């Protein structure tokens, strides 16, 4: 994939990333807005990774590390670029980042209804842990 480039997002990319997620990502979350993504990039400028092919956004992943755990979010590949190694390249870049930071295990949140996503994560070597349930509490209205 010599025409595929992986790089960290910059503030100028954020509107494009948000529009991309509406088209390529499965579902949205409370943090999928300009201020949420701005905070992410300001706090950890290398966390939001972009895959570009021929100058076009082909995929994203958030590789967040809190000093203890490695969390993966928003792995999304544009439908026209799927099954061409974009997701694998993004995950490899995220995992390399985690290893450099001292991380030992990556985890991902995947919607139960997202069959395509579940297949992709499984193919990348990830597996669900049935003993866990995610508990959440919104902190804003």
Q: What is the DSSP string of 19-57?
A: HHHHHHSSS--TT-SHHHHHHHHHH-TTSEEEEEETTEE
- Least confident among 8-12, 44-48, 127-131: 127-131
- pTM of the entire predicted model: 0.91
Q: How confident is the model at residue 27 (pLDDT cuts 50, 70, 90)?
A: low
Of 54, 58, 47, which Cα lies nearest the Cα of 23?
Answer: 58
Domains of the chain from N-terminus onward: 4-123 (3.40.630.30)
| Residue the block writes with tokens 């809190």 | 66
pLDDT at 1 over 90: no
pLDDT at 2 over 70: no
Within 10 Å of residue 139's Cβ, how many Cβ atoms? Answer: 6
């Amino acid at each position: 994939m010599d025409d595929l480039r992986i790089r960290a997002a910059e503030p100028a990319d954020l509107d494009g990333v948000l529009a991309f997620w509406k088209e390529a990502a499965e579902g949205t979350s409370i943090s999928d807005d300009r201020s949420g993504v701005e905070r992410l990039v300001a706090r950890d400028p290398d966390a939001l990774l972009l895959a570009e092919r021929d100058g076009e956004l082909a995929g994203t992943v958030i590789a967040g590390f809190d000093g203890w755990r490695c969390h993966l979010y928003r792995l999304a590949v544009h439908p026209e670029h799927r099954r061409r190694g974009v997701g694998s390249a993004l995950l490899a870049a995220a995992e390399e980042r985690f290893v450099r930071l001292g991380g030992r295990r990556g985890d991902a949140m995947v919607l139960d209804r997202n069959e395509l996503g579940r297949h992709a994560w499984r193919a990348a070597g990830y597996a669900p842990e049935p003993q866990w349930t995610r508990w959440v509490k919104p902190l804003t209205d």
